[in-house]
Amino acid sequence: MTHHVPKLKELIKAGLEHPGFAFVEVLSDCTEIFGRKNDMGSSSEMIMRQKSEIRPSAYLDTVDTPFRSNALPTGILARNDRPEYGATYRRAAAARKGAS
């Protein structure tokens, strides 16, 4: 959720630093149009509702137990450490060129 900016910055940085493919998904309600069309109040009211109803898993240790029922899995959900395609291809091409 976009109201967790510090954690979001860390996750984007980790995605950029990961060799090879990284997918970073960011979920955010449109607080202007979505909130008004669905009678959820103003932008600030909707963000306060998000903060009170959704507790990302990264923050489970810092909130009270009653809020844990709406946990949203966040953070690095899957990581497959494999050789990066470009580096593997260049090594194979160099080995083939050296064998010729």
The mean pLDDT of the chain is: 76
**Contact partners, residue 8, CB within 8 Å, separation at least 6:** 2, 26
Each as own residue / partner, the long-range contacts of residues 14-17 (CB below 8 Å, 24 or more positions apart, any chain) are 14/76
Indicate if the pLDDT at residue 25 is higher than 70.
Answer: yes
Q: Please give the average per-residue pLDDT across 34-43, as a whole number.
A: 77
Q: Which residues contact 87 (CB under 8 A, 6 or more apart)?
A: 19
Q: Could you tell me the pTM of the whole model?
A: 0.55
C-alpha separations of 77 from 8, 70, 98 in Å: 14, 17, 40
Q: Is the pLDDT of residue 41 over 70?
A: yes
